[in-house]
């Protein structure tokens, strides 16, 4: 299966923001936002397709606007 470019871009943006904001561990961040570490990993690899609810949950956990997570998608 080919992973769509927009999911790869979302995952890379999520990983970048997570690390820049001090969450070096996927596991700690996943616990912080109430999601499973394997789900965060899948999002960052682009293999998972998040719902709007998940995008909002991630953004709140990073203390950014949801649009910030989508800023690299064209």
CATH code of the domain containing 9? 1.10.260.40
Q: What angle do CA 15, 19, 23 make, to 5 degrees?
A: 110
| pLDDT tens digits for range 18-69 | 999 999 999 999 999 999 999 999 999 999 999 999 999 999 999 999 999 9
Inter-residue contact 39 to 45 (CB < 8 Å):
no
What is the domain extent for residue 15?
A: 5-69
CA dist 49 → 4, 11, 21, 26, 54 (Å): 10, 10, 23, 17, 10
Report how many domains make up the chain: 1
* pTM of the predicted protein model: 0.94
Q: Is residue 17 in some structural domain?
A: yes
**Residue 74 scores a pLDDT above 90:** no
In a domain, 74, yes or no: no
């Amino acid at each position: 299966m080919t992973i769509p470019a927009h999911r790869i871009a979302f995952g890379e943006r999520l990983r970048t923001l997570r690390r820049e904001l001090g969450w070096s561990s996927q596991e700690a961040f996943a616990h912080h936002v109430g999601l499973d570490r394997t789900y965060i990993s899948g999002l960052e690899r682009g293999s998972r397709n998040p719902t709007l609810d998940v995008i909002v949950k991630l953004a709140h956990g990073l203390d950014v606007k949801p649009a910030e997570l989508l800023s690299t998608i064209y």
